Amino acid sequence: MSTLPEKTIERLSMYRRVLQTYQDNQSEFIYSHELASLLHLTPVQVRRDIMLIGYSGTQRKGYSVKELINKIGDILDGNERINAVIIGMGHLGKAITNYFNTKRSKIDIVAAFENDSTKVDRIISGIKSYHTDSLEMILEESNVTIAILSLSPREAQDVTDRLVFAGIKGILNFTSVPLTVPEDVSLENYDMVTSMEKLAYFVKEKIRDENSL
């Protein structure tokens, strides 16, 4: 199967989550319009996404919840578990680590890195925290493909370069720094300020539109 559209991948992740709670509570099958309604999407979009991943339901009956969950798992998770590290165990880093390692998931955060000596060589939020100096050493002896960046912006590009050099293939960047990475490294940015400013803009626009009617 060729690479799926980005937006479809995002929705697959969301389908799976709601299917998992649906599975526990409800029926064995689910209709596209039910799944759509749980996520405020259209039934067509759900059907199209499911078509794209090559799964088929039964007409008049819907999709097998269990099979669909498994099929999504095949696509999102693959076979092996994925190891991640987190750089920067400040407020955000601790929140993320704490959150992630209380969820069941195929992705594990296996180590943290810190600069601040008071946070090094300790267990924080359930995982071992190392000094950033030993980044290369630790990464060499473990199979880590993803890094989460929640460190001070000032250090973000330097550490990124080292991560890339050490063979990291994906970066989830919470610093607002626009990172430079080579082509073969995937980069996901989340910028909370942008998110807030965007929301504020559309709130303003809606109020303006209402007043102008």
Ligand X SMILES: NC(=O)c1ccc[n+]([C@@H]2O[C@H](COP(=O)([O-])OP(=O)(O)OC[C@H]3O[C@@H](n4cnc5c(N)ncnc54)[C@H](O)[C@@H]3O)[C@@H](O)[C@H]2O)c1
Partner DNA sequence: TAAACAATGTTATTATTTTAACAATTATAC
Partner DNA sequence: GTATAATTGTTAAAATAATAACATTGTTTA
Binding site for ligand X (CB under 6 A): 87-93, 95-96, 98-99, 113-116, 119, 132, 150-153, 155, 159, 174-176, 192
Options 14, 17, 39, 43; binder of DNA; rule CB under 7 A: 43
**Of DNA, a second copy, ligand X, none, which one sits near residue 152, judging by CB under 5 to 8 A according to partner kind?**
ligand X
- In the complex with a second copy, the residue whose CB is nearer, 4 or 138, is 4
Q: Which of 14, 52, 124, 166 binds a second copy (CB under 8 A)?
A: 14
Q: Where are the beta strands (DSSP E) in the chain?
A: 29-30, 63-64, 82-87, 107-114, 122-124, 127-131, 144-149, 170-173, 186-189
β-partners of residue 108 are 83
Nearer to ligand X, 68 or 96 (CB): 96
Q: Which residue lies nearer to ligand X by CB, 46 or 87?
A: 87
Burial of residue 41, with CB atoms counted within 10 A of its CB: 0-12 exposed, 13-18 middle, 19 or more buried: middle
- Give the whole-angstrom CA distance, residue 170 versus residue 57: 33
3-state secondary structure of 84: strand
The answer to whether the CB of 16 falls within 8 A of the CB of 69 is: yes
Pull the structure tokens for residue 204: 């303003």
Give the nearer residue to DNA in terms of CB position, either 5 or 73: 5
Q: Which of 22, 31, 74, 191 binds DNA (CB under 7 A)?
A: 31
Q: Residue 157 interacts with a second copy (CB under 8 A)?
A: no
| 2 counts as binding DNA under rule CB under 7 A | no
